[in-house]
Chain A
Amino acid sequence: MSFWKNDFPPLWLYGVLTGILYIGIGLAQGQFTIIWQKAVMICLECIGIG
């Protein structure tokens, strides 16, 4: 039993791998360009004007 217990990678590692996978999918879908386009303009909603 200890064989199985000790050899399972910890959950946080699955989380990190999922994160990297999702970032990769986001990159492939061009989502970071959308984020960048939003982030380089002054967000009028954020500052309470828009």
Chain B
Amino acid sequence: MKRDRKFVETCLKIGIAMKKIRLSVQIIYTILTNGYLYGFLSGKIYRGRLKYICVPGLNCYSCPGAVASCPIGALQALLNQQGFHIPFGVLGFFFLFGSLLGRTVCGWLCPFGLVQDLLHEIPVFRKRKRLPFHRILKYGKYIVLISLVCIGSLFLFGGFAKVPAFCKYLCPSGTLLGALPLLAVNAQLRGQIGGLFFWKLGILLLILLLSIKICRPFCQYLCPLGAVYGWFNRFSLVQIHWSEEDCIFCGSCRKACPVDLSVHEISRSPECIRCGRCVSACPAGCLHLSAQNRSNAR
């Protein structure tokens, strides 16, 4: 059924404002979840009750400003326990946030996603959407999830000791949000810097440099949280809806999509971060981001 003209015009207006709305949401969310200012000044972290719960995005709990826990860090903390316990607490948060939002978390809430987005706006280098061998490399995040987050935390790294392998060897968010602000004000910690820190700093710098040229390289290829939320994209409450009847198949959405998805793949693909750039780019107003309306859902 064709939609009326007023609805299409409203969709177009929202689409145009989408970029500003998303940036505002990202900034407000980042400030709210990292708003413990005293921590940044004193080099100490927040120790209150809010740290019992996990935030939806990747947000190191050793960030001096963090007021809640990182879900990947929390998952590893539970897997690091003596014996094996199913980490129900963190799986519950994954199901809750994933079923409601899917990878909208990545596009709209994740602080490290915001950093990558801002860097990608720097007008140097010819921009690219993907790395070469994208079709293979995109599975990297699943490998990181299984090997570093799950198996690494249970068995492999550190001999017989269980360690949070993802946080220890890879997580650039921990280096950026946790290590750098803490080390800047805490001389005692600065004195303990070694090779591992420089390894992690190198990974962070590589990802930040890549972010200038490629849109969200960490989210596309390495983020274990993106791998988890990607599984929920097909049925989450929030979706990008496509009205096929109104589509003029101009390809504008694919051109605007930072991960190069076609109109048929948008929203349902595990790669879609629901950034809404396709919604902004659509000249026919046939794409809109909203909570699922079952009568309209594809």
Q: Say what secondary structure dominates the interface of chain A.
A: helix
Q: Which residues of A contact B189 (CB under 8 A)?
A: 42, 47, 49
B197 interface residue (CB < 8 Å to A): yes
A interface residues, how many (CB within 8 angstroms): 37
Contact residues of A between 17 and 50, Cβ < 8 Å to B = 18-27, 29, 31-36, 38-40, 42-50
Q: Which residues of B contact A25 (CB under 8 A)?
A: 88-89, 92
B interface residues, how many (CB within 8 angstroms): 61
A17 to chain B minimum Cβ distance, whole angstroms, is: 9
Query: How many residue-residue contacts, CB under 8 A, span A and B?
Result: 168
Instruction: Encode contact with A along B143-185: 1 for CB under 8 Å, 0 otherwise.
Output: 0000000000000000000011001100100110011001100
A49 to B180 alpha-carbon distance, docked (Å): 12
B89 touches A21 (CB 8 A): no
A47 to B175 alpha-carbon distance, docked (Å): 5
A46 to B70 alpha-carbon distance, docked (Å): 11
A31 touches B89 (CB 8 A): yes
Q: Which residues of A contact B81 (CB under 8 A)?
A: 34
A4 to chain B minimum Cβ distance, whole angstroms, is: 13
Measured CB to CB, the residues of B under 8 A from A are 45-47, 49, 51-54, 60-62, 68-70, 73-74, 77-78, 81, 85, 87-100, 163-164, 167-168, 171, 174-175, 178-179, 182-183, 189, 192-194, 196-201, 232, 235-237, 292, 294
Measured CB to CB, the residues of A under 8 A from B are 6, 10-16, 18-27, 29, 31-36, 38-40, 42-50
16 more CB-based (< 8 A) A-B contacts, given A23-B92, A39-B51, A43-B178: A6-B294, A11-B99, A15-B99, A16-B100, A20-B96, A26-B87, A26-B90, A31-B87, A32-B52, A38-B69, A39-B68, A43-B167, A46-B62, A48-B199, A48-B201, A49-B192
